[in-house]
Amino acid sequence: MSAASNVVTADHNFPRHEQLVEEKLVLWYFVAALTFMIVSMLAGILMGLQLIRHNPLPSVELLSPGRWRMIHTNAIAYGFLANAFLGIMHWVIPRLTLRPVLSPLLSYAIFAAWQFVVLATAVGIIFGEAQGIEWGETPVWIDPVAQLGLLLVAINFGAPILQTRGPMYVTLWYYLAALVWTFLTYAMGNFVPEYFVCGSSAGAVGGLFIHDLVGLFVTPLGWGMLYYFVPILLKRPMWSHGLSLVGFWGLAFFYPLQGIHHFLYTPIPMFLQYGAVLSTIALELVVVTVIINFVGTLHGTGGLVLSNLPLRYFHTGILFYFLTCLQCALQVTLTFQALIHFTDWVVGHAHMVMFGVFAMWQLGVMTYLVPKILKTEWYSTQWCEWHYWASSGGLIVMAGDLILCGLFQGWSWAALQPWESSIRYSLPFWSVRIVAGVVMFAAQLLFCLNFYLTWLKAPKTVHTTLPESGGLATV
């Protein structure tokens, strides 16, 4: 098998793109991802309106803001981010390995299964069946299905990666590790604190889960994606292979060690808390090397960031990544934690990571890939610009606003003012947050409309090669 495939590449008889990439599936994943993005944002707006006491639909059990808050986070993590990553991996992995995924049939089965998992999670949460694990509120009876789905994902994408011979590109390091990590993280977070340990130990595992979900699922898939698309858009290799190595191995070593920093000053043993703080600060040094590598790659062609929209998305995300990590190195210290833990500072931080970095990167990839797959230009590049500015602008306002709000809440609590005071101080910030959120929401609606209209004007040849895509456009 391997000998035969070596001959194929030696003859420069590369398989064609059409043989490798199931483009229709990539589009389906994007449609699913954007659908859940809209759902998630609606849920966020509902919770935001509740906080400023303007919930238009109070006292409706199935629209309870407490439940929809969990939909907000789960739909973004498993509905938007996971779906978009899966779609992008269907593009990247076959092109890098020159091999299709293990089975197209399995790919479609995974697509259907994953949508079932996300929808079942949403329905379960709406009916009050949530599990008591942050970012893992998926009802307990769905967890085994999701776990099986992640195993199939690992097999389907792992097969082409494992079949490659010779050195692997950076992207594949991240992807390969992420396939292992995501499976392990999900298993650890959803089963260990639910069935095996309680109390402070469960808190330690819960902290690991919250953090690994970002660090070992979203982050490696995100960076893997960027190591692929940034050099392609810049038409040049990464600046330093050595720094790529430092970045990957530093992340792999330090990221899993930090979970407990989510629960500082809890009854979890203090020396473990110190360990988590130190490894977090160490990771920020690693992150700086990754940023240097990407900025170095950009050297001399910085102007492209202004003219090339996908590239601008990527580097905006990189900037936010730097900001969040810098913030992280400070806020993780016990000094900061005393003030800002439990406040909206953390909520601002979370939005900056999840939307400012990873969603921005994925929206950038969508902006780049959708015209390629549909073989036509965007319906309106002007709308794409609006999408970028409203998304990034809204995010800056929201994150800055919440971070500042957190400081006031923390000071109010430490000063032993009545609890109501902290609510009163928060109201102006929460009001600004709603405005920023609505702007971001409008941006995504515009993007969806643009996507739809682009699909409508796609050349008929696309429809003949991909017969079902025309039907999907009406979804």
The two tokens of residue 372 are 């390629």
Interaction of residue 266 with another protein, rule CB under 8 A: yes
Is the CB of 263 or the CB of 447 nearer to another protein?
263
How many C-beta atoms lie closer than 10 Å to residue 78's C-beta?
24
> Pick from 7, 123, 197, 456: which binds another protein (CB under 8 A)?
197
Is the CB of 191 or the CB of 452 nearer to another protein?
191
> Pick from 36, 181, 320, 455: which binds another protein (CB under 8 A)?
181
Contact present, 304 and 234 (Cβ < 8 Å): yes
Subset of 283-322 contacting another protein (CB under 8 A): none
Residue type at 47?
M
Contact present, 34 and 81 (Cβ < 8 Å): no
Alpha carbon distance 321, 324 (integer Å):
5
Is the CB of 110 or the CB of 402 nearer to another protein?
402
Alpha carbon distance 283, 250 (integer Å):
7
Q: For another protein, what does the binding mask look like between residues 149 and 168, x meaning CB under 8 A?
A: ------------xx----xx
> Pick from 111, 248, 294, 429: which binds another protein (CB under 8 A)?
248
Subset of 105-144 contacting another protein (CB under 8 A): 128-134
> Pick from 28, 217, 227, 263: which binds another protein (CB under 8 A)?
263
Is the CB of 262 or the CB of 387 nearer to another protein?
262
Which of 379, 248, 255 is closest to 328 using CA atoms?
A: 255
Q: Rounded to the nearest 5°, which phi and psi values hold at 257? A: -85, 0
Options 20-28, 97-105, 383-391, 410-418: segment touching another protein (CB under 8 A): 410-418
Contact present, 248 and 170 (Cβ < 8 Å): yes
Options 14-22, 23-31, 255-263, 373-381: segment touching another protein (CB under 8 A): 255-263
> Pick from 269, 296, 302, 428: which binds another protein (CB under 8 A)?
269
What's the closest the beta carbon of residue 144 comes to another protein, in angstroms? 17
Options 79-87, 109-117, 335-343, 438-446: segment touching another protein (CB under 8 A): 335-343
Interaction of residue 173 with another protein, rule CB under 8 A: yes
Q: Rounded to the nearest 5°, which phi and psi values hold at 464? A: -75, -35
Alpha carbon distance 358, 35 (integer Å):
17
Interaction of residue 338 with another protein, rule CB under 8 A: yes
Q: For another protein, what does the binding mask look like between residues 199 and 238, x meaning CB under 8 A?
A: xxxxxxxxxx-x-x---x----------------------
What's the closest the beta carbon of residue 344 comes to another protein, in angstroms? 8
Is the CB of 176 or the CB of 329 nearer to another protein?
176
Alpha carbon 117 to its chain centroid, in Å, reads 17
Query: Buried (b) or exposed (e) across 49-69, using 16+ Cβ within 10 A?
Result: bbbeeebeeeeeeeebbebbb
Options 28-36, 112-120, 174-182, 444-452: segment touching another protein (CB under 8 A): 174-182
Alpha carbon distance 345, 5 (integer Å):
53
Torsion (CA) 320, 397, 83, 384 in degrees, nearest 10: -90
Is the CB of 153 or the CB of 373 nearer to another protein?
153
Options 185-193, 314-322, 367-375, 442-450: segment touching another protein (CB under 8 A): 185-193
Alpha carbon distance 108, 17 (integer Å):
19
Interaction of residue 187 with another protein, rule CB under 8 A: no
What's the closest the beta carbon of residue 371 comes to another protein, in angstroms? 33
Options 9-17, 181-189, 325-333, 375-383: segment touching another protein (CB under 8 A): 181-189
Q: From residue 76, give the alpha-carbon distance in Å to each of 40, 136, 363.
A: 6, 12, 13
Is the CB of 314 or the CB of 429 nearer to another protein?
429
Task: Report helix, strand or coil for 79.
Answer: helix
Which of 299, 121, 97, 325 is closest to 219 using CA atoms?
A: 325
Q: Rounded to the nearest 5°, which phi and psi values hold at 129? A: -105, 20
Subset of 428-447 contacting another protein (CB under 8 A): none
Is the CB of 67 or the CB of 315 nearer to another protein?
67
Size of the site for another protein (CB under 8 A): 89
Subset of 18-77 contacting another protein (CB under 8 A): 50-53, 55, 58-59, 61, 64-67, 69-70
Task: Name the one residue in this structure whose structure tokens are 């939005």.
Answer: 351
Alpha carbon distance 380, 360 (integer Å):
19
Subset of 359-398 contacting another protein (CB under 8 A): none
Residue type at 341?
H
Task: Name the one residue in this structure whose structure tokens are 């009163």.
Answer: 424
